[in-house]
Structure 1
Amino acid sequence: MLDFRLLSYVQTSRFATLLGALLLSPLLAAQTAINEFIYPAKTGDTLIGIAARLLENPNDWPALQQLNRIANPRQLQPEQRIRIPYPLLKKISTQAELVKQSGEVTIRNPRGSDSAPTGSTIPESSVIQTGENGYVTVKLPDGSLLHIPAASQIHLAKLKRYLHGPVLETQIQVERGRIETQVAKQAPGSRFSIGSPTAIAGVRGTEFRLAYRPGTQITTTEVEEGRIQFGANKPLNDESTKPGQRQKVTPPGVGLAAGYGAVATAQGEVSAPIALLPAPTLPPEQILQERLTLQFKPVLPESSQQVRAIVAADRDFQTILGERLVTAGQVISFPAPNDGEYWLRLRAIASTGLEGLSGETAFSVAARPEPPLLQQPAPNAKQREETVRFNWTTEPDLRYLLQIAKDSQFRQLHVERDIKQGESVENLPVGRYFWRVASVQGARRGPWGEALSLQVLAGPSPLSPPSDEGKTLQFSWGAEPGQTFEAEIARDPEFKQLLLRQRIPHPTLVIARPAAGKYYIRYRCRDSDGYLGPYSRPQEFRVMPRWSDTHGNALNASAGEVRTDYAAP
């Protein structure tokens, strides 16, 4: 198995195999030269006695004899420098510290506990699980930080400290999900690895991420800072072996510098270094969030498949408030936290599954008191009356600020009123307007609500005097292109005694001459977009008695039409 543990060896070739593991491990050699503890021999020391005091396994003294080329293990010179590889030294278990946690978090440790308060210790061999909304930050004995996001399972497989010198041995296993690390610079001889069932990364001090998907057994890693050595954690089969034999060979690892990542498959194949996607950016207009739902639409690299977004209460992303993974191009939404300052971290994800470089942006939430719901006029409303009634919902202890402007940016304000109730009646000249309302609580004004447009149109034009055509009366009025009309005639000005209601395509109404008497007429327009305006003011007209012939035509004399109420001058 390709990691930093000593390879197992059979009894007959125990020491040669042990030394080979110490001297020839590819990942270990790639990180640093072999680091050793130097013990100055004292008078009376023997190699066997030194092994009994210092080694994890006292029976490994022959390995020291071979490494130091000592002819007689029972005869050592005072101050003779005895080289002891750190992996052979005695070590003790250490503990991690639970720095931060939020959401659903379970910690299974050898003592059987399922939870731990923030600030408590986590022993070696513990397994940390996070739910769909869980997040944990763990601090290791060397000061390294492990950030464990949602839906992950991490095993603190080995947290060891050697008894001699500031040397640690750390092994973290990602069994499911992801881990993000800030690895402190390691002391000479220390060994730090983070792996999965299919891959392992050895580091000396860096910031990188590692993810494992149990379904596909694919491991991905990305380096943000420093350098790591990344290799398979499962030996490959040597195809040159004879039938019936199975020889395991170690696949080579790859070195990954900052800005690069790699993919390891279930078969133990490791990709060449792959450049990470650049960090997404957040448009400036999204820095201020004024609604109870945060909405972000970042600018992504062209080849992005997905984007991961993380919201935190602090710049160090120790207090995570939420995380989302969405398809590239979709709006990223979060419930808005309390008004204040927050941080957003964004990463684009490529088709390889590698997450790109992180982009971090501060943003503000100022969503309270939230604006009221607007009731009338409706969106894109039109009306042919200059008196306009504005209504919105209200809450106790709030005032409201109404703005009406000639432009959508509200630079040309026509009305601005501070109002206690949820209603205002305004007289507006003909034209196009935009209106909005904000809630005010004490001295604090909340964000503006949605701006709605309103068009005030000219009211119905006056009716021309009726034209008496003998048997008919004709009424006409001004109109706009594309309009149709609805006209009504009644005996009373309230139009309760309705005599006629007629739809007409042109601004002209022709009716049969009614009986003598007093009547009222009104009309309204329907615009080409379907908007039905108000009725015109009722206008009175009179039909006078007159003499007519047998065909209904008016009798005329030299002075004009003969009427029963005719009076000579």
Structure 2
Amino acid sequence: MRRWPGLAIALVAGAHGAAKAGETTMDHYTVRAGDTLAMLERTGLAGHGALARVVRINHIRSPRLLQIGQVLRIPRDLLRDEGTWATVETFSGPVALSLRGQPLPTRTGVTIGEGAHIQTGRNGFVTLRLRDASAVSLPSQSDVTIARLRHVLLTGAVEREFTLADGRAHMTVTPMTLPDSTFRVVTPLSVSAVRGTDFRVDYAAADQTAVTAVEEGRVAVDALHTATQAPLAQPSLVSAGLGLAISPHGVGEPTKLLPPPVLEDVGRVQTAAQLGFRVTTTSAATAYRAQISRDAGALDVIAETRQTSPDLAFASIPPGTWFLRLASIDPQGIEGAAESYTFDRYRNEVHGTMGQATQRRHHIYQFKWSGVADGPVRYRFRLWREGQDTTPTVDEIGLHGNALDVRDLAPGKYHWQIASILLVGHRVIESRSPEQSFQIAQPR
């Protein structure tokens, strides 16, 4: 690890990043048919003396000598701009929106702009869609402010900056066709600037650690005294499939993302009150993250968990078909590549009890059961002597009730079980109670 004590970190991807300290950011405008300096001043420049500065910087000797295709260099601070917006595409759980301390309504379709503050609570998730179709997804326990969301009138460039104070952010950035467009994610330790890519930024405020994982595109890492000063070393390029851990002590080396864990028992219907999944462990992973979402891209997440155990548990969710996204986390805290699986969730549980009674010299064995299901069910009761499960003593199918009496069983050891059969469309979803046993002694 290269170490620079007390440094902040800048991540810069693509050719267009933040300006160095003391430098003026230059944007570029390509002259089109019909353009005149007066028109450019009227429609796109701001500030007294702006046109004179543009003429001087570009060595324009005559206002009439603008040529179609000529590229003008224009200081960014001379260009007029206007605010643009982001739209809440999906959200679930506790999500709070505010602007300058005043709460905003949290609902699908609401638009927010510069200065908006977004906080997600435990099991709170939100995805913002920008005007160019880029997406910003914030999982639970995240704190983000939209620091900049501007559209430059003359060049058409868009400038987006998000400040991540805590938590995580997943960015899917539409490739930018205009060279002066920017997309930045700022944490107390890092500035990530991209031209068009799919990447994640995590920042743990308690540990003062930042992690960047690149799924598509590439990111360059500059070490800075502050987020605006000049780099101290050549940037390290982080390509797709690599991640980088950052701390106040320095920048680590790019590390290959761990492969996703493999889900065991794929296709099993989740029928219990609590959802449970098991993944195959890998020696390099120290933890696993799992998210349940309505879509394969995990833009509409409803629940997530991070566990050191390969057994992943979730609270109950509504019935239907869902997506499970799995990723491994390495010792540096870098979340690896992800894999998504579909699974069906239909509650269907049954539990049984047994009692007995005597009636006119007959021994009555009373079996009762109860269940919870997402729809009407039928029951199947099976009772068999030990070692004879293929030829049960009792096998009742299609039961509507919740009890069955069996009379005068011969001595021996018996096993019994209840199956709850739920019909969902043309599918049959069967759940079984735990197998139970009892012993009938020989009479003396």
TM bracket (short chain): 0.7 to 0.9
Matched letter for residue 208 of structure 1? F
Q: 1:257 to 1:401 in 2, by over 3 A?
A: same
CA distance in 1 between partners of 2:43 and 2:389 (Å): 82
**Matched residue, 1:400:** 379
Query: In the alignment, is the contact (CA less than 8 A) between 1:343 and 1:362 conserved in 2?
Result: yes
Q: What is the TM-score with the length of structure 1 in the denominator?
A: 0.64
2:123·2:303 contact (CA, 8 Å) conserved in 1?
Answer: yes
Q: Which runs of 5+ in 1 are unaligned?
A: 10-16, 23-34, 238-246, 378-385, 461-535, 538-569
Structure number with bigger Rg: 1
Task: Using the TM superposition, give the Cα deviation of residue 324 of structure 1 relative to its aligned residue in structure 2, in angstroms.
Answer: 0.8
Q: Call closer, same or farther: CA 1:64–1:44 in 2, change over 3 Å.
A: closer
Alignment of 1:109-508 (within 5 A): 109-110=99-100, 112-189=102-179, 190-232=181-223, 234-235=225-226, 249-267=231-249, 269-284=250-265, 287-329=268-310, 331-368=311-348, 370-375=349-354, 389-394=365-370, 400-405=379-384, 413-418=392-397, 419=399, 420-425=401-406, 433-439=414-420, 447-454=430-437, 456=439, 459-460=441-442
Give the C-alpha shift of residue 287 in structure 1: 2.8
CA apart distance, 1:259: 1.1
Partner letter of residue 161 of structure 1? H
Partner of 1:39: 31
Question: Is the 1:220–1:261 contact (alpha carbons within 8 Å) kept by the matching residues of 2?
Answer: yes
What's the Cα RMSD here? Answer: 3.6
Most deviating of 58-67 and 182-191: 58-67
1:102 matched residue in structure 2:
92
Shift of 1:253: 3.2
Q: How many angstroms apart in 2 are the aligned matches of 1:265 and 1:345?
A: 28
Higher relative contact order (CA 8 A, sep 6+): 2
Percent identical across equivalent pairs? 23
Shift in alpha-carbon separation, 1:202–1:446, aligned structure 2, 3 A: same
| Partners of 1:164 and 1:408 in 2: CA distance | 84
Q: How far is the alpha carbon of 1:134 from its aligned partner?
A: 1.0
Distance 1:262 1:376, change over 3 A: farther
Distance 1:353 1:183 in 2: 23
Distance 2:284 2:388 in 1: 35
CA-to-aligned-CA distance 1:47-95 (integer Å, 9 cap, x gap):
xx8557533455455764565344x4x6552437351257353221101
Structure 2 letter corresponding to 1:393: W
- AA partner of residue 326 (structure 2): L
How much does 1:225 deviate?
2.2
| Alpha carbons of structure 1 residues 279 and 62: separation in structure 2 relative to 1, 3 Å | farther
**Paired AA for residue 213 in structure 1:** A
Which structure shows the bigger proportion of residues in strand conformation? 2
Unaligned runs of 5+ in 2: 1-7, 357-361
Using the alignment, how far apart are the partners of 1:110 and 1:414 within structure 2?
Answer: 73
For residue 338 of structure 1, report the CA deviation from its aligned partner. Answer: 2.8
- Structure 1 residues 399 and 40: CA distance shift in structure 2, 3 A: closer
Cα distance, 1:407 vs structure 2: 8.2
**SS class of match (2:279):** coil
In the other structure, the counterpart of 2:359 is none
Q: Aligned with 1:188: secondary structure? A: coil
Q: State the distance in 2 between where 1:292 and 1:43 align.
A: 68
Contact 1:203 1:229 survives alignment (8 Å): no
Measured in 1, the distance between the counterparts of 2:59 and 2:327 equals: 54
Distance 1:128-1:456 versus aligned 2 partners, 3 A rule: same
Change (3 A) 1:451 1:429: farther
Could you tell me whether the CA contact under 8 Å between 1:371 and 1:446 is conserved in 2? no
Moved more, 106-115 or 392-401: 392-401
Q: How far apart, in 1, do the equivalents of 2:423 and 2:251 lie?
A: 62
Residue identity in the other structure for 1:391: F
CA distance in 1, matches of 2:96, 2:332: 31
Q: Quick one: distance in 2 between partners of 1:248 and 1:224?
A: 27
The residue that corresponds to 2:5 in the other structure is: none
Distance 1:228 1:300 in 2: 30
Following the alignment from structure 1 to structure 2, what is the Cα–Cα distance between the partners of residues 343 and 78? 56
Distance across 2 between alignment mates of 1:409 and 1:167: 77
Partner amino acid for 1:162?
V
